[in-house]
Amino acid sequence: MSVPSPQPRSVVEQIPVYVPGRPPTPRPGLTTYKLSSNENPFPPLPGVIEAAHAAVDLANRYPDMGNTRLYEGLAARLGVPADHLAAGTGSVALIYHLLQAFCDPGDEVVHAWRSFEAYPIAIASVGAVSVPVPLDEQWRHDLDAMAAAITDRTRIVLLCTPNNPTGPALTQTELDAFLDRVPSHIVVVVDEAYLEFVRLDDAVDGVATYRGRSNVVLFRTFSKAYGLAAFRVGYAVAPAPIAAALRAVSLPFGVSTVAQAAALASLDAHDELMRRVDHLVAERDRVTAALRDQGWSIPDAQGNFVWFGVGERTASFAAACEDAGIVVRPYGTDGARVSIGEPEGNDRLIEVAGSFGL
Ligand code: PMP
What digits encode the pLDDT tens for the residues 161-181? 999 999 999 999 999 999 999
Q: What is the rounded distance in angstroms from the CA atom of residue 214 to the CA atom of residue 228? A: 30
pLDDT above 80 (res 358):
no
* Pocket perturbation via mutation, ligand 1, pick of 116, 119, 161, 194 by most ligand atoms within 8 A of CB: 116
Q: What is the rounded distance in angstroms from the CA atom of residue 248 to the CA atom of residue 195? A: 27
Kindly give the number of the ligand 1 atom that is closest to the alpha carbon of 93.
14
Q: What is the rounded distance in angstroms from the CA atom of residue 128 to the CA atom of residue 123? A: 5
- Evaluate: CB of 165 within 6 angstroms of ligand 1: no
pLDDT above 90 (res 2):
no
**Taking residues 140-146, what's their average pLDDT?**
98
- Evaluate: CB of 223 within 6 angstroms of ligand 1: yes
* Pocket perturbation via mutation, ligand 1, pick of 18, 40, 91 by most ligand atoms within 8 A of CB: 91
Say if residues 204 and 172 touch (Cβ distance below 8 Å). yes
DSSP H stretches of helix in the chain: 10-13, 46-56, 68-78, 91-102, 118-125, 143-148, 172-181, 206-211, 240-249, 257-268, 270-293, 314-323, 343-356
Kindly give the number of the ligand 1 atom that is closest to the alpha carbon of 89.
14
**Taking residues 197-201, what's their average pLDDT?**
97
Q: How far apart are the CA of 282 and the centre of ligand 1, in A? A: 22
Q: What is the rounded distance in angstroms from the CA atom of residue 211 to the CA atom of residue 117? A: 28
> Quick one: pLDDT at residue 17?
87
- Angle in degrees, CA 20, 217, 103, rounded to 5: 75
Distance of CA 232 to the CA centre of its chain: 12
Closest CA to 314 of 342, 290, 335: 335
The one-letter amino acid at 241: P
Say if residues 20 and 37 touch (Cβ distance below 8 Å). yes
List pLDDT tens digits, range 90-125.
999 999 999 999 999 999 999 999 999 999 999 999
The domain ranges of the chain are: 11-38+271-356, 46-269
pLDDT above 90 (res 21):
no
Protein residue whose Cα sits closest to atom 2 of ligand 1: 193
The per-residue pLDDT of the chain, averaged, comes to: 96
Kindly give the number of the ligand 1 atom that is closest to the alpha carbon of 233.
16
Proportion of the chain above pLDDT 70, given as a percent? 100
Kindly give the number of the ligand 1 atom that is closest to the alpha carbon of 115.
3
Is there a cis peptide before residue 114, judged by omega within 30 degrees of 0? Answer: yes
Protein residue whose Cα sits closest to atom 11 of ligand 1: 92
Q: How far apart are the CA of 39 and the centre of ligand 1, in A? A: 10
Angstrom CA distances, 329 to 44, 268, 278, stand at 24, 32, 24
CATH class as words, domain 11-38+271-356? alpha beta
**Taking residues 216-235, what's their average pLDDT?**
98
DSSP structure string for 84-152: GEEEEESHHHHHHHHHHHH--TT-EEEEEESS-THHHHHHHHTT-EEEEEE--TTS---HHHHHHT--T
Angstrom CA distances, 276 to 40, 116, 254, 293, 341, stand at 9, 24, 28, 26, 12
Q: How far apart are the CA of 154 and the centre of ligand 1, in A? A: 23
- Evaluate: CB of 38 within 6 angstroms of ligand 1: yes
**Taking residues 269-278, what's their average pLDDT?**
98
CATH tag, 46-269: 3.40.640.10
- Evaluate: CB of 154 within 6 angstroms of ligand 1: no
- Evaluate: CB of 302 within 6 angstroms of ligand 1: no
DSSP structure string for 39-54: --SSPPPHHHHHHHHH
Say if residues 132 and 33 touch (Cβ distance below 8 Å). no
Protein residue whose Cα sits closest to atom 1 of ligand 1: 193
pLDDT above 90 (res 209):
yes
Q: How far apart are the CA of 186 and the centre of ligand 1, in A? A: 22
Is the whole-model pTM more than 0.95?
yes
pLDDT band at 11 (very low <50, low <70, confident <90, very high): confident
Q: What is the rounded distance in angstroms from the CA atom of residue 133 to the CA atom of residue 44? A: 37
For helices 314-323 and 343-356, give the axis angle rounded to 10 degrees: 130
Protein residue whose Cα sits closest to atom 13 of ligand 1: 90
- Evaluate: CB of 116 within 6 angstroms of ligand 1: yes
DSSP 171: B
> Quick one: pLDDT at residue 25?
85
Closest CA to 47 of 57, 55, 35: 55
List pLDDT tens digits, range 53-76.
999 999 999 999 999 999 999 999
Task: State residue 305 phi and psi, 5-degree precision.
Answer: -160, 160
* Pocket perturbation via mutation, ligand 1, pick of 95, 98, 115, 221 by most ligand atoms within 8 A of CB: 221
Q: How far apart are the CA of 220 and the centre of ligand 1, in A? A: 8
> Quick one: pLDDT at residue 142?
98
> Quick one: pLDDT at residue 270?
97
Give 270: exposed, middle or buried? Use CB within 10 Å, 0-12, 13-18, 19+.
middle
Q: How far apart are the CA of 14 and the centre of ligand 1, in A? A: 22
> Quick one: pLDDT at residue 188?
98
